[in-house]
Amino acid sequence: MTTTDASDEELVADEGTPRQLVSWVTLGLMTTASVASLRPSPSMAIYGLAAIFLYLLPAVVFLLPTALVGAELASGWTGGIYRWVSEALGKPLGFLAVWCQFAMTIAYYPSLLAYVASTFAYVIDPSLAENGLYVAIVIVVIYWTGVWISSRGTKTVAGLSSMGLVIGTLVPGVVLVALGFVFLGQGNPSAAPMNASHWLPPWTGLASLVLIVNNFLSYAGMEMNGVHVSSLRDPKREYPKSMFLATGLVLLIFILPALAISWVMPSSQLSLTAGLMQAFQAFFDHFHIGWMTKVVGVMLVAAALGGMLTWLAGPAKGLVLLSRQEGYLPPFLQRLNRYGTPQNIMVAQGVITTLIGILYAFSGDVSSAYWMFSVITVQIYLIAYLLMFVAVVRLRRTRPEVERGFRVPAVAWVAGIGFVASVAALFIGFVPPDQFGGQPLWRYLLIVGGGLLALGVLAPLAFLKFRKPSWVHPDHQRPLPPP
């Protein structure tokens, strides 16, 4: 899915370098593969039929703007978000953007591995799914195992992610939806009401909508495939078509499983981490094939672990290579091992991940802990997106002469909608959801606000303030500009 079709012809670019063309359908499928997942389904299944609206809204105000803006920036400037933001707003803010892409993984891995732990519990003992000590042990053990594997430079890791899309997303998703339709076709009542009066979620204040914030994380990464826009035959016409195709497919993969879960699991009983497995178990028990629960559990865990391994070294290595050129990180954190892996920064990241994982052991509610770390992940990532939306507008004004393979129509409006939506999601994340379980508000705000402040703001500011000319790697030594 990530390679060009055999029938695609080669075109020689102006510089004389051969360029392989891809069809807009291929690009749409590539984008779908990089975004779609079953993991957020339980958090939206709580809303029942209203999940459709709650997936469509951020798709329009966030998913499409990030995809379109990413395409314009990627087709005009190589180097990713650091280059885009640096060209528009200066190198310090460029570093902040790329740091946030890395730092969000610090909060992301504990939430991902909490999902893995709760899913695997259905293979060994479902009662462990909400056991904080069990979840903490799984997070710590699997993360450090992943660091060891990644630090060895294993080349088979990328293959795990490709297989994971089919094994851990498409197959279980199709099975879940098919079982749901058969379940309803037999005349069984849906656990969530499915009539027209439930298209919109009931309004009980912001807390009733706050789970929508998770959809911003679900859609994150849509802009990554913008780098391939120059490989389209007619980018101006074909790129929007590929994005609309990807958006439609992503919405189907997100919405249908969420609805299927809501048909069989009452929202009051749904776990945000184990909800997917709760639904599978309920369906399989209903159809008297309960043994399939363990099979699906293994498939979902394998896919999640494959995705984690491919992500583990990538953001860290990008940050380290940039820091070697610009001196953003101390030399100790810039070191690569003999396999070319940034082992030191991964270990430092692992220490923080371990401390976060240990918090699960003292949590009486695994779902609430999972949600808080998911929110921190979203908020840190949104900082990078806010900078990206500002950058595209500023570059259109200050660098109009730069040739772009694709230009966003009404760029100020598109970027403005994405910016406002991102700010709204960032602030809504500070409101605990109705499912938070009556825990003290100060604890929620302390963890979410403290995580965002420490990882997304204070850490990069400290590196910028205290960096020294000697932090630039000897291969890139040159006068260091002021921070």
Q: What six digits make up the tokens of 331?
A: 């030399």
Helix, strand, or coil here: 18? Answer: strand
Helix, strand, or coil here: 10? Answer: strand
Q: What six digits make up the tokens of 73?
A: 């920036």
Residue 483's pLDDT is what?
A: 54
Q: DSSP string spanning 39-90? A: TTHHHHHTTGGGHHHHHHHHIIIIIHHHHHHHHHHHHH-SSHHHHHHHHHH-
**What is the fold, at CATH topology level, of the domain defined by 24-467?**
Amino acid/polyamine transporter I (1.20.1740)
**Owner of token pair 């932090």:** 471
Q: Indicate yes or no: pTM above 0.85.
A: no
Q: What six digits make up the tokens of 391?
A: 């950058």
Residue 76's pLDDT is what?
A: 83
Q: What six digits make up the tokens of 274?
A: 């184990």
- Please state, in angstroms and rounded to a whole number, the distance separating the CA atoms of residues 362 and 188: 39
Residue 80's pLDDT is what?
A: 78
Q: How would you write the pLDDT of the chain (483 residues) with one tens digit per residue?
A: 333 333 333 333 344 444 567 788 887 877 776 677 788 888 888 888 888 988 888 888 888 898 889 888 888 887 778 889 999 999 999 999 989 988 888 888 888 888 888 889 988 888 888 888 888 898 899 888 888 877 765 544 444 455 555 677 778 889 999 999 999 999 999 888 888 777 777 766 666 667 677 777 778 766 666 656 777 788 777 878 887 888 888 888 889 999 999 999 888 888 877 888 999 999 999 999 989 999 998 888 877 777 677 667 667 877 888 888 888 989 888 888 877 778 888 888 888 888 888 877 777 677 777 778 888 888 999 999 999 999 999 999 999 988 887 888 999 999 999 999 999 888 888 888 765 556 677 888 888 899 899 988 999 999 999 888 888 877 665 555 555
Helices vs. strands in the chain: H and E counts, helices first:
20, 2
For residue 196, what are the contacts with CB-CB under 8 A and spacing of at least 6?
none
Domain boundaries, the chain: 24-467
